[in-house]
Structure 1
């Protein structure tokens, strides 16, 4: 088992030599487990921006800000910036779909 670490997530992959590891192998590995959007959000290790979250949810940044201002969505305010905790956002998203 090989472990790759990036600034955002840790991937555990079957051991292969770099000779045999190619784009097709990576695609097959990454598609082997179907992930929900909540799972993908939870993989982030840092607070997310509204733009990052909007891209994953397929919504506009304006919609996210509107939810936050109504108190309908968990967010963290740092100065004037609105950030999203990946774990809390994933929990919130799962509750919305239940």
Structure 2
């Protein structure tokens, strides 16, 4: 399986070409859950597939919630949802490590 990576408005888009010739694209976005309504401060960050507003853990987020590319995962002051993190890591292929 060969693959490539491109950057876009919503972060990295990883594609992989399968032997059958099909292309599978995975796109993830980090989205905010707020402490109060109207939003004043980020409570927790969640991972969302594509352009939706439902986190991988099942929590529905505000449609206008702040979004960041998936590369922001683990790089903010506020905590990240543990469940979203576990699911994201299972879904996204890891980069090979030179030993």
Q: Same fold (TM over 0.5)?
A: no
**Which structure features the higher share of strand residues?**
2
Q: TM-score range by the shorter chain?
A: under 0.3
Larger Rg belongs to: 1
TM-score, length basis structure 2: 0.26
**Which structure features the higher share of helix residues?**
1
